[in-house]
Structures are given as structure tokens and as C-alpha cells.
Amino acid sequence: MKFIGLRLCEHDSNISYSDDITVKYYKSERDFQIKHHGFNNLTDWKFLIKKWKINPKDIDAIGIVLDCFRHKQIHCNEQKLFEIIDIDELKSLGFECPIFRLDHHLAHSLSIWTLDVPTTKNFVFDGFGDDRIFHSIFTDQRILSCPIKENHLSFGQSLAKFGVEIGLDGNDLDHAGKIMALKGYGKLRTKNISYQKYSLDNLDDLWNTHQNFSIHDNFEEICCHVNNCHTKTEKIFAEHFSKYSEKNDVIGYTGGVAQNTVINSKLKKIRKNLQVPPHCNDEGLSLGIIEFLRQYFDQEKFNIDNFPFIQDDESPESRVSKNTIKKTAEFLAQGKIVGWYQGHGEIGPRALGNRSILMNPMVTDGKEILNKKVKHREFFRPFGASILEDKTTKYFDFEGKSEYMLYVMDVLDKKSFPAITHVDGTCRIQTVSKNLTTYHSLISEFEKITGLPMLLNTSLNNGGKPICGHIKDALKLFSESNLDILVIGDEIYLK
């Protein structure tokens, strides 16, 4: 059977298409190079019908996650987990199949299928989903839902609002990640504040400064406030997961809040079987939708080859050779900044070795150079590292896998790797297995030269822009930044 999953509204539009067990995935921001791009209506994605050679009459079912308040002309019942609805705009494109509206959180919870790990519970936390619900827990059906209380905001909304109030630049959807970085610069002053009254329902009260602070004028005070509030928030999340799950539960964790690597790391310590996919935010919704349709129609499981590198973007014509890998490792050992564009792009906001900016983590002022002259972003933002999986415990206080760069941990030698060590002595890492053949080979070649089995790894983009989705995007970044080298497939560009 053939299914289409649609997430079109407001931001982070993405589309999935399945033909029997084969799956295609498209995220519009990579194509249009507009961060968090969202289609303006329900038909602007129609160019994909031609690109993917879809005959609308051959489609067996369409699933969609809707912001129902934006589409008053469509009759929806947001209290239902799913329903069959009429959408005239999709019929106008030639589709005659049934159209299922899925609950936002249900689609999130089902998107975990890509990890091929059966879960016993699925937790979802985000800004808000259908019916203003910001948190759900699913087994086969939803067992808990938390609506946003009147006159309050969810945790995701609270961070976005806080970022605006202190004057952070850029899209407010990105403020949470920047606020995480600020935590490391602050001192913990919990004795000054009573935390007993705070819970998941009123975290916006906790985060409210009640003062007219500016990131430019009150940096130290803001960072202390962030450290205090984030530390308490971490405890609230840990207590909630402890209350509603058992130690042996295999927990799928999705929603935009699941991108918070600090909270994830706290949860991982109490729930070892926590599973967070790289597309835990809204860009995984269309994958959850087609999984719902697969289950609903009792079809064979999907085969998603090359996960997580499944973007329907431009791939280089040539594959990188051993010689080019060796040359690139030599450049990196010399302290050069390398743009790395290979195969298809990663799903999710993290670079995982196909759309990366790479650097030697031992470069003393590496973080400052990258933030100021390459990424053109705030000075306080840290950088992650990619390390060979079997060498992780030698350099980081962490056991296990972190394949998608969604956990943060202490750096054991905090002085030797300044480019990837945050001010609080931590780093967000990606553990690289031999399954990532090309990237593993590059890090291994770098290790042969330097003795170090890891690289600084950040996404191949300029500040405020999406990860490069086309070769022309990478070439533009190369010309407009202080990248020293760009490797596209087997071709090396030098300055």
C-alpha cells in the first residue's frame, strides 16, 4: 500500500511517502534554506507529487497533523486521537483516498519506529499539541494528557518567551538551545529562591525574572537565573519520569523538549532504556503518521535504509575516496576548518557526519573562531564532538551510545580540548560506530595522525540558516565564511 504523511502548518514542514516498505522523507527548510520553514497552505507541497512520481489515484491513505485553529474550514475534533476528515484542498490535487487527522502527540510517539526498538511507554513533551496539550504518555493508547493551565505556558513556550524577554536573536523556536548554553556560565543560588511551589503546570512562573533583563547588559545575572531555574526543571522532569515509569521500561521520548540534552542526560541516569530519536521535534511528525497508517492497515514494517541520512536532498555525484579521507584528516590535524558534505543529509537538527563543519578539538581558540568567523553566532554557544564509539569512556564520563548527539556529559580532561569543552566542563557528543563507514574512517585517519579519536562536529550552516541541502548551499557557505576547506563527495575545494 501507498501512504503519505503530512506536517504542513506554521513551521518545520515535512512530508513522508511510503510505497510498500520503502520510505521517502522531505523537509522543506533544507530545500528553501529558510530555518523552520512552513508551507503557507495545504497545497504548496504539490511539486513533490511530480518529483516523487506519485499518481494521486494510487495513494491508499493520507495522514495529516493539523493546527486545527488555523483551518477553521475543516471540521476537526481535537479530543480524538485520530479521525477521518474531508480536506477539499487535498481533493483538488487529485487524491481520492481517505484522509486521517492524527493527534499531534500520537504522531510524535509513533515516530520512534525509526530506531527499531520496541518501547513500553512513550513520553511526549513539546510547546503544545492538539487541544493545547503539552505532555502525553502513551502505551497503546494515551494514559495521561496534560493541558496547558489557564494563564500559564508550557515549558517549551516558557523558554521561547524567556529568550525574547532577555533579547536573544533569531527565531524563538531556537531560544531553548541557546538558553541551555547559558546555564553553564551561571552560579547556582538556590538558597535565594523557594522552589516548593513549582511543577510542570507552572514552570513559566519559575522562569519569569520579574525584571527587565537584557542578555547584553545583565549577562551574569541572567546566567545565574538560568542555572537556578534549569536545575529545578531537571528535578521536576526526573521526578515525573520516575512517577510514571519503571526502571526497566523502554521509554520513547519525543517532542521538541526532548532536544534538551541536559534534561535528557538526567533522565538517562534514572532510566537507562531511554530512547530519543534525532527527529524528536516536529520534523518527525510525518514519519509517525505513516507508521500509524501502516499499523491501521496492518502492513509489513517499513525498511528505512541508511537512517538517519534520509533527507531527500542533493547528494554528491562522487563518493569520497580513501585518498581524500586521508588528505582531509591531514588538513584537520593542521588545524584547518573543514566543511564536509557527503551522501544525503541527516534527519534532525544535529550534524551527524554527512553535513558537518569539522575541526581539531585541541585548537585553543577553536570555539571563538567558529562562533565569530564561520557560524556567525553568539559567543557563548558550545560545540559538540564526534568520537569513535569504543573510545568514549577514555575521554568522557559516559557509558553507552549517543548516536544522535542528544546527551551531554563531563569531559574527563577539561584542559586539553578547549574547542569542545563548555565553560562548565561538559560536551554534547556523538558516538560513531563502524556502521558510519565514511565518517568512522575519517576520524580513524585523524587518530592515526594525532592520537585523538574525535573531532569537533557542528552543522554545515551559517548562524540562523538551515543545514545545507544543496551543493550550492555548501559552496555559498564556503565563500561567505572562514571555512578553510570544503569537501563535497570526492572533490576538495581550497582557499
Residue 224: the pLDDT is 94
Is residue 463 within 8 Å of 376, Cβ to Cβ? yes
Q: Nearest CA to 281 among 347, 186, 337, 358?
A: 347
Render pLDDT for 361-418 as a digit per residue (tens, 0 to 9): 999 999 999 999 999 999 999 999 999 999 999 999 999 999 999 999 999 999 999 9
Residue 14: the pLDDT is 98
Residue 64: the pLDDT is 98
Residue 210: the pLDDT is 80
Quote the pTM value. 0.97
- Contacts with 390 (C-beta within 8 Å, 6 or more apart), sequence order: none
Starting at the edge strand found earlier in the chain, the sheet holding 274-275 runs 142-147, 133-138, 121-125, 251-254, 274-275
Distance between CA atoms of residues 398 and 333, nearest Å: 26
Residue given cell 528553501 in the structure block: 32
Taking CA atoms, 433 is separated from 328, 351, 353, 403, in Å, by: 19, 15, 11, 8
The per-residue pLDDT string of the chain (495 residues; one tens digit each, 9 = 90 and over) reads 999 999 998 899 999 999 999 999 999 999 999 999 999 899 999 999 999 999 999 999 999 999 999 898 999 999 999 999 999 999 999 999 999 999 999 999 999 999 999 999 999 999 999 999 999 999 988 999 999 999 999 999 999 999 999 999 999 999 999 999 999 999 987 665 566 789 999 999 999 988 888 999 999 999 999 999 999 999 999 999 999 999 999 999 999 999 999 999 999 999 999 999 999 999 999 999 999 999 999 999 999 889 999 999 999 999 999 999 999 999 999 999 999 999 999 999 999 999 999 999 999 999 999 999 999 999 999 999 999 999 999 999 999 999 999 999 999 999 999 999 999 999 999 999 999 999 999 999 999 999 999 999 999 999 999 999 999 999 999 999 999 999 999 999 999
Cell numbers at 271, concatenated:
532510566
Distance between CA atoms of residues 75 and 87, nearest Å: 9
Burial class (CB in 10 A: 0-12, 13-18, 19+), 132: middle
Distance between CA atoms of residues 105 and 202, nearest Å: 21
Task: Map residue 115 onto helix, strand or coil.
Answer: helix
Sketch out the chain's domains with CATH numbers.
2-109+282-296 (3.30.420.40), 322-494 (3.90.870.20)
Residue 25: the pLDDT is 98
Residue 338: the pLDDT is 98
Burial class (CB in 10 A: 0-12, 13-18, 19+), 62: buried
Residue 141: the pLDDT is 84
Is residue 416 within 8 Å of 396, Cβ to Cβ? no
Is residue 16 within 8 Å of 22, Cβ to Cβ? no
Residue 195: the pLDDT is 62
DSSP 185: T
Q: Give one word for 481, left, alpha or beta, with left for phi > 0 and alpha for psi -120 to 50.
A: beta
Residue 156: the pLDDT is 96
β-pairing, 408-410 vs 142-147, is unpaired
